[in-house]
A and B are shown apart, each in its own frame.
Chain A
Amino acid sequence: MSELMGVINLDHELDLLNELTYFRCGAAVPFAGRYRLIDFVLSNMANAEMKDIAVFVRRKYRSLMDHLGEGRPWDLDRKRGGLFVLPPDWNDSSDTSHGDLQHMRNNLDFFKRGKAKYILHSGSQHLCKVDFCEAFNYHKETGADVTLIYTKVDQLEPEHDPCLRLEIGEDGFVSNIHHEKDHPNVYMEMFIMEKKFFLEQVRHCIAHGDSYFFRDAIQKNHHNMKIAAYEYKGYHAVINSVESYYKNSLELLCPKNYTSLFKERPVNTKIKYEAPTKYLDSASVNNSLVANGCVIGGSVENSILFRGVKVQKGAKITNSIIMQKCVIGENAVIENVILDKDVNLPPDRMLVGDVKRPFVIAKSSTL
């Protein structure tokens, strides 16, 4: 799919995951035992064989850059094109752009150098397995100015509240874009546009003092554009709060969700060389996701263990998410808790959170 180049724009994503986003942006939050949230959109792009991908970042991007590196796990460490992580470094004194338009204005070279004629613009909060090739074919077939990717949500949850909704007319095109909370057509923050048209819109927005590309160029302008809507029907989750993070993580313990997220096309992530997980004689593990490098001597139920977690004998973990390299001491009890990386819980301690509002412990905390 060399016709399509990708932009992962993190500029508007607020870091709302409390302790989990104190020191990292939302896209870099660890997920499902071994991934970061950005891996899903990036893998979808890589699976569609997109060759040029830019990531627009503004703050707290150090851990993201460490994770992405040169893009090798996604086969994006290329001589021509590949992955570009573009931090806010702009020094043009004639620049009058604001908001996310700053990224577009100051990274024009990325768009111009890429040979692709179309761009796919996305965020990182909507976890899904969209086939971008199919969406792109739909865009070309309909001859629209822009195609928005959306999904119909049967059961709306609080995490859908901030999402935009698409009103779709009888002709199949988008007739309105709004924030009506009870509307099921959730816009997944992914659009496809011809690059030339996109750059014209960017220029127009900057000339008019705008500051948010999607809102100012597309949403406000929807009467003047032919906007197609591509419906996605597979696995979908929105991660924009601790509650939605916790809930959607534990829902992966349902085999249907696990299979639809992981078993078709691969999701790639940074490679770590951990040994396979070791279950000791005293281990008791049920209904859990476990990454490599763990040593489990205690009991683990309805939980997710990231890479390299040690659960000592007699420890009991229930309904919890334990991130990389945490050590859970002997006879410690954990329930409804999210432990960020490198937390060492001494023996016999007890941490219990609420079923709906888990207790979150920040990275590297000593307790």
Chain B
Amino acid sequence: MKKKEVVAMLLAGGQGKRLKGLTKNLAKPAVYFGGTYRIIDFPLSNCSNSGIDTVGVLTQYEPLVLHSYIGVGSDWDMERKDGGVFVLPPHEKEDGSSWYRGTADAIYRNMKFIEQYDPEHILILSGDHIYKMDYDAMLEYHKEKNADCTISVINVTLEEASRFGILNTNEDLSIYEFEEKPEHPKSTLASMGIYLFKWDVLKRHLYEDERNPDSSFDFGKDIIPLMLSNQKVLYAYPFEGYWRDVGTVQSLWQSNMDLLSDNPPLDLNDPTWRIYTRSPNQPAQYIAPDATVTNSVINEGCIVHGNIDHSVLFYGIEVGEGSVITDSVIMPKVKIGKNVRIHKAIVSENLVIEDNTVLGQDRSNEDEILLITEEELSSLNGQGVSVSTNN
């Protein structure tokens, strides 16, 4: 195999329990975002745009959709003779087999994959976040500092800091302490879960960590503290720009809504930094004479007869006459009948919403986002709402 300077390892095995019904049969990185994407499109496109062409995707929870979605990676320009994208589920070995026990363990168990490319550096990514980032610029910084590990950080408010892994740094941004969700944060630099390691240094620490019976095999909780205690050189790499964890129904909804302002903080129309995705190949969207569409993002294949305001519509959706959709995210191929009212909701894919259905009106808690999946719809049956799926 040809030597690679950097190999990226994308942790995509998470379940994303807080996304509730959206991850019932789907790994979190495969969850839909922004009218056409899946979350994993962001780290994969960032790799592609940063010139990183060798990526291992570590899967575990409900990997079927994710595996077929990634395929040979040609949509992200990763179908390569040397390198490319590789899906790496847990596998059996001579000494027995088990699931990935943690993020660091997942890398440890795929050392053979990494060693094939004899890389200088290893980039650890997660499939949980929406952001555009040039990893190549981070690599330059990492090399300039001659760091053993560089961790990408984002400045959060002091109140938010207690919800993140916080890095305490010296003035030159070298890290002296890592605190997971500190009660009294000393800094506001939150780890983005993006790590760049010298491979030989990481490898030694993975071996050491595997021998520790008390370890949870996690980068944040175990590997970083271990490196700090071993006097390794760790630097924080400050990132400025849009970065969101979309791990809850509320945050996924909010992040979709962030796209709807006239000058959104995340520009998906930037020709110099395209976000690639698997094209559903749908015809141009049809907006009927009686429709109104404002403050919205709408994908191809939609046929809109109703009124859409401040909403995100994925591909292949039909909205019947007289229906009103506001502050909502409608996932692919949902068929919405006539005179339906949907407000502040996420509707999951392939559902059929019958005529005159009202969803999300008169809720007790106005801040709550209604998540409509097949199960929730079934439970509404008999209350003037009938439901079927059109799979």
Contacts and interface: CB of A to CB of B under 8 A. Distances in A.
Interface of A: 32-34, 73, 253, 255, 258, 261-262, 266-269, 271-293, 295, 297, 304-305, 308
Contacts of B290: 286
Contacts of B75: 271, 273
Contact of A286 (B35, B287, B299, B300): B287
Nearest to B268: A275
Nearest to B269: A275
Contact of A273 (B34, B274, B294): B274
A279 B275 contact: no
Contact of A32 (B284, B296, B308): B284
Chain B: interface residue count, which band? 35 or more
B298 A291 contact: no
Contacts of A278: 259, 269, 296-297
A271 B279 CA distance: 7
Given A271-B281, A286-B287, A281 B274 contact: no
Secondary structure of the A side of the interface?
A: loop
Interface of B: 34-36, 75, 259, 262, 268-269, 274-277, 279, 281, 283-300, 303, 308, 312-314
Given A280-B262, A280-B295, A285-B293, A273 B275 contact: yes
A268 B281 contact: yes
Given A273-B274, A275-B269, A279-B295, A73 B288 contact: no
B300 A292 contact: yes
Contact of A281 (B262, B277, B281, B288): B262
Given A273-B279, A275-B269, A286-B291, 6 more contacts: A32-B283, A273-B276, A276-B34, A276-B268, A276-B314, A283-B294
A55 to B, nearest CB: 21
Most buried by B among A279, A282, A297, A308: A279
A258 B293 contact: no
B247 to A, nearest CB: 23
Contacts of A286: 287-291
B276 A288 contact: no
Nearest to B263: A280
Most buried by A among B269, B288, B293: B269
Contact of A290 (B262, B284, B312, B314): B284
A280 B268 contact: no
A315 B309 CA distance: 20
Contact of A34 (B274, B284, B295): B284
Contacts of A279: 293-298, 308
A97 B106 CA distance: 66
A264 to B, nearest CB: 11
Contacts of B291: 285-286
B76 to A, nearest CB: 10
Contacts of A283: 293-294
Contact of B298 (A276, A280, A304): A276
Nearest to A253: B286
Contact of B269 (A33, A295, A305): A295
Q: Lowest 7 CB-CB distances: which A-B pairs, in order? A: A33-B284, A276-B35, A275-B268, A262-B283, A276-B299, A287-B289, A289-B284
Given A275-B275, A276-B35, A258 B286 contact: yes
Contacts of B297: 275-279
Contact of A293 (B262, B269, B293, B295): B269
Nearest to A281: B295
Nearest to B304: A285
Nearest to A297: B262
Contacts of B285: 277, 289-291
Contacts of A267: 283
B294 A281 contact: yes
Contacts of B35: 275-276
Contacts of A269: 281
Nearest to A295: B269
Contact of A291 (B288, B300, B308): B300
Most buried by A among B286, B293, B297, B312: B286
B14 to A, nearest CB: 26
19 contacts: A33-B283, A34-B283, A253-B286, A262-B283, A269-B281, A273-B75, A273-B277, A274-B269, A275-B36, A276-B35, A276-B268, A276-B299, A278-B297, A286-B289, A286-B291, A289-B283, A289-B287, A290-B287, A291-B300
Contacts of B284: 32-34, 289-291, 304-305
A272 B282 CA distance: 12
B195 to A, nearest CB: 28
Contacts of A290: 284-285, 287, 298
Contacts of A273: 75, 274-277, 279
B287 A287 contact: yes
Nearest to A280: B262
Nearest to A308: B269
A46 to B, nearest CB: 12
A287 B313 CA distance: 18
Most buried by A among B277, B279, B289, B313: B279
Contacts of B314: 276
A266 B287 contact: no
B130 to A, nearest CB: 13
Contacts of B281: 73, 266, 268-269, 271
A253 B269 CA distance: 26
A116 to B, nearest CB: 26
Nearest to A306: B284
A292 B300 CA distance: 6
A274 B277 CA distance: 9
B300 A276 contact: yes
A220 B326 CA distance: 64
